[in-house]
Amino acid sequence: MANAKTDFQPHSWSRYLYRFHRRRALESNPKQMALSQVVSLIGTVLSGYLFELNKDHLVGFVGAILVMPGVFDLTSSLGAAMSAKLNHTLEFSSDSAWKNYWRAVGFSLKEIIAAGILVALVGGGLAALVFGTSAWQVVWLTFGALSLTAVVGLPIIGYLTIKVRQRSINPDDVIGPIQSSLFEIFSILAIVLIVVSTT
Amino acid sequence: MKFWHRESVRRRSSFWLSSLVAGLASCISLVGGLSLELVADRLLPVIPLLIATPSLNNMVGDYAAIIAAHIGDPSDRERTRRDLMKLLSRVVLVNIFGLLMLSLLLAHSRGYIANTIFITKFAVFVVGVFAFMLLAMFAISIWLDRIVVKRQLDPDELLIPVVTSITDVAVLSLVAGGAIILF
């Protein structure tokens, strides 16, 4: 019989994301919150710098800038939800941490791919409608960037969640700013890589 | 056998619903991306603003979480609001100062020469975006919280995704507008 406490349940991602952020916001003191904001700020400014460094490539591919916020948003929110769910599961699960890790990463990858199809189609449609560019080119760019970012980012965040937990630190306090910066950086790099390889 | 079949169907529909909600929330962010793409030729030369854009986009999620976490506790509203003000004031100050310094320094390293008038306009613009972001989030969170309580809905499903998506689009549109009007 399925064990509700140990199985990696396909609950709504936003429930875990909400509780993850709510717990961080309510239990962190102002100094801790300010420190996590500094980490997040440095990471996101770095992603802005990467954006600036590669703007000539991006401006040549109509739709690349359009899809960027969608790619950031989806990978970052599902990455945070995965970390929160994994942390929660590890508290109750009788399975090994690494078994739960692969289950969590696999499940979140499937979620990103499923949600990514929708985001890619909408992005491609918008680009074709407004700019008259090829919808399929933008669809492939979006889906490719989401998949690449997820394949690289999710295992790293899952790994960090387990390692931080093993050092008796609550991952909810540490992973948040790291994951948002990492996914922003990976998203930009993935988009640039796909744009450069197709032009 | 029936139990396993029902359980399997429930999990599949929960997975697809969850993915649909996540996808729709991200699709709303695409509208913000559209406004940036429309003004790309005006935005890209303004290097400090370009560098600051992902940070401004990212902060929306962080502030939505802080505000949503504190807004809905009716049993202790005064303490909750005091805690919220204390948290936000430090966080906002750190972010404004840090963002201005880092964007201008990195832009300078890329050969961008910012005069006093530009730095003043940029600083006022960033402060304005932060003020707008916070006001919009408060207003949307309070409004949504009332609806959620009235209809006995689960805030876990609604508050952060909706507040983040709406404010995300608004902030990116502000950045696009700023690129045309101010710089």
Tell me: pLDDT of A3 over 50: no
Which residues in chain B are closer than 8 Å to A121, comparing Cβ atoms? none
Higher pLDDT, A152 or B73: A152
- Mean pLDDT (chain A) is 85
Do B172 and B59 form a contact (C-beta atoms < 8 A)?
no
Tell me: pLDDT of A5 over 50: no
Residue of chain A whose Cα is closest to the Cα of B67:
A25
Per-residue pLDDT at B81? 67
Cβ separation B23–A74 shorter than 8 A = yes
Closest C-alpha to B37, from A149, A184, A70, A143: A70
Which residues in chain A are closer than 8 Å to B107, comparing Cβ atoms? 52
Residue of chain B whose Cα is closest to the Cα of A114:
B19
Instruction: Report how far residue B175's alpha carbon sits from residue B170's, in angstroms, rounded to the nearest whole number.
Output: 9
Which residues in chain A are closer than 8 Å to B164, comparing Cβ atoms? 73
Q: How confident is the model at residue A8 (pLDDT cuts 50, 70, 90)?
A: very low
Which residues in chain A are closer than 8 Å to B27, comparing Cβ atoms? 70, 118-119, 122-123
Task: Tell how far CA B126 is from the center of its chain.
Answer: 14
Residue of chain A whose Cα is closest to the Cα of B80:
A26
Give A128-145 pLDDT, tens digit per residue: 999 999 999 999 999 999
Per-residue pLDDT at A6? 42
Per-residue pLDDT at B62? 77
Of A55, A70, A77, the CB nearest to B30: A70
Task: DSSP for B36-99, please give it.
Answer: HHHTHHHHTT-HHHHHHHHHHHHHHHHHHHHHHHHHT-GGGHHHHHHHHHHHHHHHHHHHHHHH
What is the DSSP code (8-state) at residue A170? -
Tell me: pLDDT of A25 over 60: no
Per-residue pLDDT at B116? 93
Of B54, B70, B103, the CB nearest to A184: B54
Tell me: pLDDT of A96 over 90: no
Q: How confident is the model at residue A178 (pLDDT cuts 50, 70, 90)?
A: confident
Positive or negative, the CA dihedral A189, A12, B60, B90 is negative
Place of tokens 């003043």: B120
Q: Does B92 touch chain A (CB under 8 A)?
A: no
| Most confident of the ranges A10-14, A112-116, B146-150 | A112-116
Q: How confident is the model at residue A151 (pLDDT cuts 50, 70, 90)?
A: very high
Per-residue pLDDT at A2? 42
Phi, psi for residue A29 in degrees, rounded to 5: -85, 165
Tell me: pLDDT of A38 over 50: yes
What is the pLDDT tens value at each position of chain B, 183 positions in all?
555 566 566 666 678 888 888 899 899 999 999 999 999 999 999 999 999 999 998 888 777 777 766 665 555 555 566 777 777 787 888 889 999 999 999 999 999 999 999 999 999 999 999 999 888 888 888 887 788 777 776 665 566 777 788 888 999 999 999 999 887
Instruction: Report how far residue A36's alpha carbon sits from residue A161's, in angstroms, rounded to the nearest whole number.
Output: 16
Of B27, B154, B156, the CB nearest to A118: B27
Per-residue pLDDT at B171? 92
Cβ separation B22–A77 shorter than 8 A = yes
Q: Does A151 touch chain B (CB under 8 A)?
A: no
Q: How big is the CA angle at B23 (ends B40 and A20), to the nearest 5 degrees? A: 105
